[in-house]
Amino acid sequence: MKKIILILCGITFFQHAMFSQHSDYKVVFDITSKDSSSQQAVVREVNLIKSGNPDAQLEVVIYGQALNLVVRDQSSQASAIQQLLALKDVSFKVCAFTMKRNNIDKSMLLPGVEVVPDGIYEIITKQKDGWGYIKVAH
């Protein structure tokens, strides 16, 4: 009887650990590259994660030369980004400093893309809040 109780407790603990891990899936992606393969990679990774774990919270922070990823009429990933933005807990955020430096205003961004005052600070804040971090580069 003790063995059965121990086995059931072990299974319950294992299931709880598995579900807890999935419900706390939070990742911030850092992209600064105008390279199309890097931009495709971040879109692909967000898609893969969301298809495997729909409850994952994912944020892509864009700054530097990656600005064209989210500028209307410049983005080669526009339709894929729009589909991702329609999903729960997916966001694309662009640095206001980068926009100012490149003379881009919010009306020029893809619909649903958010502006943050400072892309680096956004990433640091997410990490401080326990989010995982991935630098996207090729």
Q: Identify the pLDDT of residue 137.
A: 85
Distance separating alpha carbons of residues 77 and 22, to the nearest angstrom: 27
Where residue 138 falls among pLDDT bands split at 50, 70, 90? Answer: confident
Question: Stretch 49-78: mean pLDDT, rounded?
Answer: 96
- Structural class in CATH, domain 25-136: alpha beta
Distance separating alpha carbons of residues 133 and 29, to the nearest angstrom: 6
Is the pLDDT score of 10 beyond 60? no
The mean-pLDDT minimum among 28-32, 53-57, 105-109, 134-138 falls in 134-138
The dihedral through the CA atoms of 29, 34, 35, 36 has a sign that is positive
Q: Identify the pLDDT of residue 23.
A: 62
pLDDT digits (tens, 9 = 90+) for 91-100: 999 999 999 9
Mean pLDDT score of the chain: 88
Question: Stretch 70-91: mean pLDDT, rounded?
Answer: 96
Question: Stretch 68-72: mean pLDDT, rounded?
Answer: 97
119 neighbors 125 (Cβ within 8 angstroms) = no
Where residue 7 falls among pLDDT bands split at 50, 70, 90? Answer: very low
Distance separating alpha carbons of residues 6 and 89, to the nearest angstrom: 37
Q: Directed axis angle between helix 36-52 and helix 78-85, to 10°? A: 30
